[in-house]
Amino acid sequence: MAVCAFLSKRFPLVRGRFCSKAPGLARTVVRKLWCASSRSQLRGVEGNRGLTGKVDRFGGVTVDLTDTGLPEDISEGAFSGLLRESLVRWRAEGKVAVWLRVPISLSRCAAAASTHGFTFHHAKHDRAVLVLWLGEGESQLPGFATHQVGVAGAVVDESNGKVLVVQDRNKTTNAWKFPGGLSDPGENIGATAVREVFEETGVRSEFRSLLSVRQQHNHPGAFGMSDMYMICRLRPLTYDINFCTRECLRCEWLDLAELTRTSDTTPITARIARLLLHGLERGFGEIDLSMEEIPAIYSGRFYQLYHRQLPSLVTHI
């Protein structure tokens, strides 16, 4: 599930199972993230022989090779033997999955694990996580992040109906588009839009609303993953253009009506330009998705929710 109660990102997960209520799904299995409400639900440390792992409430075992006291120079063969012995025990105990957390310095253990069927789940910086499904049928374990998030900022000068657009330097065909770029990990989309607009154009602005969302799969430049592209409406705080010449060929305040008519733009920019022109003429309230801060139940933090701002919502808050 997307909204769940995991309190630790190191907690092993088992996502879903076959659901008897969905008999018509031939190839689509029911995949769910079973959420643990607390790390305290880890049932302790086990292991007399072989590797030592932590058992989670879903019947999975996690072994962190930094915690096992393995010699730094353990050979692939020695580790393979340890793992083989452990797997026999875990299978006998009915465990459904094994997670291996492998520091990059012990990567040879990943090679050894692959001979027992382990594959990479993900890897970041100096750590890889491998996984082996021991349960019935195909793996029901949750995958890793699937999307990158790109954000564009449409900075509209309401005083003269112009919008800030750029042309990339590195494209074979030049077309007007809104400045933007990839969201950094942990960065809110509004902050990405404001940052990217400033970095590309030198114009400072502030977030006003989310306008549009686009999902694209197998996105070029996303290492085979998907791309979620968000277009935000921004209000300019400064107007002088001082664009990044290494990235942009051109940068201008362009008349919105002209941007809706020109063929010298991308389909998505043309579509958003029409939205913006409508907003300029009839009020941005007709096109905006407003942002609200809402408290997260479990973490104590806040998140941002974007949707239509309605009069009835305002009175209910």
Q: How many CB atoms lie within 10 A of CB 37?
A: 12
What's the min distance (Å) between Cβ of 114 and a copy of itself?
A: 4
- Smallest gap from Cβ 92 to a copy of itself, in A, equals 24
Q: How far is CA 59 from CA 3, 24, 32, 133, 142, in A?
A: 21, 27, 15, 11, 14
Closest CA to 286 of 263, 310, 314: 310
Active-site residue among 158, 199, 286, 292? 199
71: left (phi over 0), alpha (psi -120 to 50) or beta: beta
Nearest distance, CB of residue 282 and a copy of itself, angstroms: 8
Residues 63-92 that bind a copy of itself (CB under 8 A): 76
Element (H, E) at 195: helix 189-201
Angle ∠(291,297,300) on CA atoms, nearest 5: 85
User: Which ranges of 230-310 does DSSP label H, i.e. alpha helix?
Assistant: 256-261, 267-282
Task: Report, in Å, the least distance between residue 162 CB and a copy of itself.
Answer: 19
Q: Which is nearer to a copy of itself, 92 or 293 (CB)?
A: 293
For residues 293 and 177, give the distance between their C-alpha atoms in angstroms, rounded to a whole number.
Answer: 29
In angstroms, the CA 178 to CA 162 distance is 12
Residue 136 binds a copy of itself (CB under 8 A): no
Q: Are strands 97-103 and 60-64 parallel, antiparallel or unpaired?
A: parallel
Q: What is the dihedral of CA 235, 238, 244, 247, to 10 degrees?
A: 10
Tell whether residue 47 is a contact of a copy of itself (CB under 8 A).
no
Q: Which is nearer to a copy of itself, 49 or 303 (CB)?
A: 303
* Candidate list 96, 183, 197, 236; residue touching a copy of itself; CB under 8 A: 183
User: In the range 9-38, which residues lie near a copy of itself by CB under 8 A?
Assistant: 9, 11, 13, 15, 17, 19-22, 25, 28, 30-35, 37
Minimum gap (Å) between residue 35 Cβ and a copy of itself = 6
Contact between 4 and a copy of itself by CB under 8 A: the answer reads yes
Nearer to a copy of itself, 91 or 308 (CB): 308
Task: Tell me, residue by residue from 241 to 280, as one string, x for binding to a copy of itself by CB under 8 A and - for no binding.
Answer: -xxxxxx------------------xxx--xx-xx-xx--
Which of 134/141 has CB closer to a copy of itself? 141
CA quadruple 238, 243, 244, 245: dihedral, nearest 10: -170
Establish whether 46 is a catalytic residue: no
Should residue 238 be labelled a site residue for a copy of itself when binding is judged by CB under 8 A?
Answer: no
By beta-carbon proximity to a copy of itself, the closer residue of 6 and 235 is 6
- Per DSSP, helices labelled H in 16-107 are 76-92
Quick one: which of 69, 170, 263, 300 contacts a copy of itself (CB under 8 A)? Answer: 170
Rounded least distance, CB 48 to a copy of itself, Å: 28
**DSSP conformation class of 33:** B
Q: How many other β-carbons are positioned within 10 Å of the β-carbon of residue 301?
A: 8
Residues 94-133 that bind a copy of itself (CB under 8 A): 104-111, 114-115, 118-129
65, 164, 189, 256: which one contacts a copy of itself (CB under 8 A)?
Answer: 189
Nearer to a copy of itself, 44 or 186 (CB): 186
Q: Residue 117 forms beta bridges with which residues?
A: none
Residues with catalytic annotation? 199
